[in-house]
Chain A
Amino acid sequence: MSSEREIAVDYLARVEGEGAMYLRLKDDEVLDLQFKIFEPPRFFEAFLRGRRFQEAPDITARICGICPVAYQTSACNALEDAAGVQVGGQLLALRRMLYCGEWIESHGLHVFLLHAPDFLGYESGIAMAADHLERVEAGLRLKKTGNHLMTVLGGREIHPINVRVGGFHRVPSKAELMELRSDVEWALETAIDTVDWVSGFPFPEFERDYEFVALQHPDRYAIEDGRVVSSRGLDIGVTEWNNHFEESHVPWSNALHATIKERGSYHVGPMARYSLNFEQLTPAAQAAAVGAGLGPTCTNPFQSIVVRAVEMVFACEEVLRLIDAYTPPPQPALEVPANGATGHGASEAPRGILYHRYQVDEAGLIADAQIVPPTSQNQLSIEDDLRSFVPQYSQLDDEQLQWQLEQAIRNYDPCISCATHFLDLTVERE
C-alpha cells in the first residue's frame, strides 16, 4: 500500500477571507506544505499615494470590516509621528476605549462562532447553536456590546467615521458613556464565564517555542501604542521596524511573508501579548487566566481561544475604568501639520501587531505607504505549526487529519482580507 498521500482544502471555512491549504506527506514526513492566501491582492499601499494624509485612516479602515479601528489607529499613530504630534490624555483614553470595543467584537465572533465549534465537534457556529443556544446568544450579545461601543465612539459599528488624525471629529459626553456601563458590566461577567467554559475544551497536546512579538508599554497592557518587543530580546521603537523585519513574496500566497531578519518566523496576536505583558492585565483578567489553568505564558496555540476570552475580560474591565475616569477633553482633536516627513505607527489589532509607515510630502500628500498586517506576519508561524503538528497526527485518516489541520489554522483567527490587502486545504499523501 502506498504511504504517500495528499490533503487539499480548497476553501478554508470560518476564516475571514479566501485561503487554502495544501499538504503532501509520506508516512509522517511532510514533503510539501503551503498555507495559501489566494484572495486577490488589494493594492491599498499603491492607491494611498497622492492622497491627502488626513484620508489615510478612513481609506485603510476599508481593508477590514472586523478590525477597522486597528487600521485607523495605526494610521493616526504613523501620521502623528510624521508631524511630531503626540495625542494624550482623554483623547488617548477614547482611542483605547474604541479599540477595546473592537477587541470585544472581534474576539467575541471568533471565540463563539468560529473557534468553539472546532472543539465541540460542529461544522459551524450555526450547527452549534442548535445544542448550545445560550452560549451562541451570549456570544452574539458580546459581539454586539463591542459593536455598540464602536457606534457610540466611532459613529458607526463597521468602518467608524469619527476617527481623524490628531483625535476625533466629535467626542462623547460623560452621560453617553455612562449609558454603556450596564451593558459592559454584563459583558465582563459573561467574559469571565466564557474563560471558564472554553478552558474546559479538549486541547491537543502541542506546544511550540515561538518568538512572540508584541507591543509593550510601561504603563498599560499595550493596545493603541508601545515599543516592539519579543520573547527573544528584541526591544525597539516602532520607527526601527524595517531595520528588524522584512517582507518577501512566495509564489503560493498573495500576502507577503514577514520575518525577523536575524531569525525568521515569529508569532503575533493574543498569545504573544498575553505572554509578554501578563503582569499588566487587570486583576479579574489575571484571576480568570489562573482559574483556567493558564500560566503567565501560553505556548499551545489551541489554547489561544482561552487567551482571547481572557483578553475580553480585560477589555471590558478596561472600558469600565476608562468610562469612570472620563471627562470630555477641551478639544476633539489636536492640530496635525503636514511637514514633509516619514512617520511610523503600530497598534495591537485583535490578531496582532499592525504596522504602518507613511512618507508625507510638504503639501501633505502621501508619497509612499507601507502596511504590515498581523496575518501576513503569522503565515510562516502557521506553516511551522502545521509542519510540527502533522507527524504527531499522521495516523489519522485524511478527513480527521484535515479537520485537525484546519483547526490549527483557525487558532490564528487568520484575517485573509487584511493580509492581501489575503483559505482552501489540500493534503497529498505519497
Chain B
Amino acid sequence: MVIGVGNPLRGDDAAGLEVASRLQRVTAHQSPHGGFELMDLWLGADEVVIVDAVRAAAPPGTVLRFDPIAEPLPQTMFASTHDLGLAETIELARHLGRLPARMVVYGIAAESFATGTGISAEVAAAIDQVVTEIDHA
C-alpha cells in the first residue's frame, strides 16, 4: 500500500499526492491531512510506502529513502503545520504497536511550499523517478 501525503495548494508539498495519483500497479491513497488519519489508513497492511515532500538541506528534487522501522525519521524534515507531523505519527504508532511489518518513506526535497505556485521542475522529475521505482518494485 502506498500513501501520498501533502497539501495540494502548497507548491512542491503536493509531490506525495501526485505520486499516489499516478501509480498504476499498487493500491494508493492520498492523505492531504496526514496525522492521526495515517494510522487508520495503513491498518492491516503488511508493507506500507509513504511519499511526502520534505524540507531538506539537499538540492530540490533529491529523493531520500528512509526505513522508519529501523530508526525514527528526522523530526524537522517531516514537520507538519497541522496535526501531527509524519515523524511524530510514526513514533506514536510505534508506541501503540500500530506500525506495519515493513515501511519505506520517500522524502522528496522541495524547492518551495508557497501557496498556488504548482510543482517545480526539479520535483516533477523526482515524482517521475519515484513513480517508476514504486510501480516496478
Contacts and interface: CB of A to CB of B under 8 A. Distances in A.
B66 interface: no
A125 B36 contact: no
Contacts of B96: 129, 133, 136-137, 140
A158 interface: yes
Contacts, number: 25
Nearest to A130: B95
Contacts of B135: none
B82 A136 contact: no
Interface residues of B, number: 10
Contact of B88 (A65, A126, A133): A126
B82 A129 contact: no
A136 B98 CA distance: 13
Nearest to A136: B96
Nearest to A156: B33
Nearest to A128: B95
B33 A158 contact: yes
Given A126-B88, A143-B36, A158-B33, A65 B83 contact: yes
A136 B89 CA distance: 13
A96 B88 CA distance: 33
A160 to B, nearest CB: 14
A133 B95 CA distance: 7
Contacts of B95: 126, 129-130, 133, 136
A244 B62 CA distance: 56
Nearest to B39: A140
B74 to A, nearest CB: 15
A225 to B, nearest CB: 29
A143 B39 CA distance: 14
Interface in A116-150: 124-126, 129-130, 133, 136-137, 140, 143-144
B118 to A, nearest CB: 20
B122 interface: no
Interface string B22-50: 00000000000100100010000000000
Contacts of A126: 88, 91-92, 95
A133 B40 CA distance: 17
A95 B96 CA distance: 34
A130 B33 CA distance: 25
B83 A125 contact: no
B91 A140 contact: no
A124 B96 CA distance: 14
A130 B95 CA distance: 5
Interface in B83-110: 83, 88, 91-92, 95-96
A158 B91 CA distance: 23
Contact of B82 (A65, A137, A143): A65
Interface of B: 33, 36, 40, 82-83, 88, 91-92, 95-96
Given A126-B91, A133-B95, A136-B95, 8 more contacts: A65-B33, A65-B82, A126-B95, A129-B96, A130-B95, A133-B96, A136-B96, A143-B36
6 contacts: A124-B88, A126-B92, A126-B95, A129-B96, A144-B36, A158-B33
